[in-house]
Copies of this chain bind each other. A is one copy, B any other.
Amino acid sequence: MASPRPPIDFYFDFSSPYSYFASEWIEALAARHGRTVHWKAILLGVTFQAAGLKSPVSHPIKREYTLHDFERSARFAGVPYRLPEPFPISTQNAARIFWWLADGRPASAAPWARHCLRAYFTRNVNLAEAAALRGLAAEFGIDADEAEAVWTSPQAKARLRQVCDDAVLHGIFGAPFFVVDGEPFWGNDRRAQIERWLDGGSFQATAPSDL
């Protein structure tokens, strides 16, 4: 029997539209290649700061293009999308619940991520607001008081901090970020490259004489 192939690491942030788009295709792509997906909620604020970067929407000229590209990329991927207001938001509470699930009920972690990403990017549910997040937890089948106790707990805060520090150590500087067999891919727009990587493991180099 062949040994199972390693899972795909999928780093995402709950306030990243490109992460949301990727979250809608990564499972099917992985499954077509006999892989599973290891979802990892991170905070882009932490990785941006570590890498000396800023959000693309924080640069005035780039912002207008990027907001437009969010919409176009959603249509291109066939994913429903509406720019939420406010945007971006703080996502540490949703991420803390994610890791609490990942550690205790791993099968529920990715569904929680999709539940929150879809709520924020299609129904304008503000994940940064306690009342809204309590409501999402209840919809998902988590007691709202328990959810709030989790995201305010020192343990959950430490866990998320550890995950973000670990991501920085692994060179993760943005989201979505994928690691396949040790090969790093940054961005929703690396989908075709990831697919080809999974198909063949590598690409052919082209010689100058072929030009």
Interface residues of A, Cβ cutoff 8 Å to B:
24, 50-53, 59-62, 64-65, 68-69, 72-76, 78-81, 118, 122-123, 168, 171, 173-174, 184, 186-187, 189-190, 192-193, 196, 202-208, 210-211
Q: List the number of copies, as a whole number.
A: 2
* Interface residues of A, dominant DSSP: helix
Contact between chains at B192 and A192 (CB < 8 Å): yes
**Which B residues lie within 8 Å of A192 (CB)?**
76, 192
**Which B residues lie within 8 Å of A80 (CB)?**
205-208, 210-211
**Which B residues lie within 8 Å of A72 (CB)?**
193, 203
Given A69-B186, A76-B193, A187-B189, does the pair A171, B64 have CB atoms closer than 8 Å?
A: yes
**Which B residues lie within 8 Å of A50 (CB)?**
61
Q: 26 A-B Cβ contacts within 8 A?
A: A24-B211, A51-B59, A51-B60, A62-B174, A65-B173, A65-B184, A65-B186, A69-B186, A72-B193, A72-B203, A74-B206, A75-B205, A75-B206, A76-B193, A76-B203, A78-B204, A78-B206, A80-B205, A80-B206, A80-B211, A118-B211, A122-B208, A123-B208, A189-B189, A189-B190, A192-B192
